[in-house]
């Protein structure tokens, strides 16, 4: 009888160990699933140049800087002039040296070095994440009315969809990738439309088998801003419209 009881005790003990290990493994897997992907790289020192009334001129300088091997984008400043930011340098001195060489070569005229503390993201600790979300939305709203162009800037002027989202995030200090597929890959999934928050990105696919084909910035109340299609301007649309409901594949957050 004792032998039989001992056997039962041993089996029971082994089952407890298995269950405990299973629980730890399951919990670790669960934690792993909900952990956010690595945060976006913060922008460092960036060069700002130009002040154009016409977007065509800003687009032209942007393309010239790209020909010099620099990642460049233009944006609508609070004074309603189009300005250009380019590069992401580790130190202020490196940024200044590069800007000075471009000035001496006649590529740019006056310039300004944007420092890490100048970005909205640098004030998130003080004012909270909602402050940063509002800054993203405000930057996006400034682009409403700017023409769309697939592929980015040219003499026809405008932004493609992922160029807009990249620019908005970089203006606020977050180095979002250029391509919409990469933007989708690095974001943390938002479970449902009702969980979206201002400043999150929303993604669409014209055909599921081809993956991500379009992206916009969510601004709340079921609406988003995006560069819609060639020949049109950056505008506000609703996620509840038949087309976007059909092609919506998910939202991502980066904050």
Q: Which residue has the higher pLDDT, 227 or 111?
A: 111
Query: Tokens for 108?
Result: 């740019």
CATH of domain 45-122: 3.30.70.1070
Q: Which residues are catalytic?
A: 161, 214, 226
Tell me the whole-structure pTM to 2 decimals.
Answer: 0.79
For residues 181-199, average pLDDT: 95
Q: Where are the domains of the chain?
A: 45-122
Q: What is the pLDDT of residues 38-94, one digit of tens each?
A: 478 999 999 999 999 988 888 889 889 999 999 898 888 888 899 999 999 999 999
């Amino acid at each position: 009888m004792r032998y039989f009881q001992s056997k039962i005790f041993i089996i029971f003990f082994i089952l407890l160990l298995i269950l405990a290990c299973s629980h730890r493994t399951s919990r670790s897997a669960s934690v792993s699933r909900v952990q956010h992907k690595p945060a976006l790289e913060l922008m460092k020192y960036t060069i700002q140049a130009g002040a154009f009334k016409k977007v065509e001129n800003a687009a032209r300088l942007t393309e010239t800087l790209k020909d010099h091997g620099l990642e460049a984008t233009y944006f609508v400043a609070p004074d309603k002039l189009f300005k250009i930011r380019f590069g992401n340098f580790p130190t202020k001195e490196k940024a200044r040296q590069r800007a000075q060489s471009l000035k001496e070569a006649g590529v740019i005229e006056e310039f300004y070095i944007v420092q890490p503390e100048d970005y909205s993201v640098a004030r998130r600790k003080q004012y909270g994440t909602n402050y940063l979300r509002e800054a993203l939305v405000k930057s996006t709203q400034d682009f409403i009315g700017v023409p769309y162009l697939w592929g980015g800037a040219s003499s026809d002027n405008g932004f493609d969809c992922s160029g807009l989202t990249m620019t908005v995030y970089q203006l606020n200090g977050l180095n979002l990738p250029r391509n919409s597929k990469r933007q989708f890959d690095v974001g943390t999934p938002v479970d449902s439309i009702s969980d979206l928050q201002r400043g999150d990105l929303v993604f669409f696919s014209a055909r599921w088998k081809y993956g991500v084909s379009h992206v916009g910035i969510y601004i709340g109340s079921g609406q988003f801003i995006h560069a819609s299609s060639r020949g049109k301007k950056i505008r506000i649309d609703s996620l509840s419209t038949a087309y976007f409901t059909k092609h919506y594949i998910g939202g991502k957050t980066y904050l």
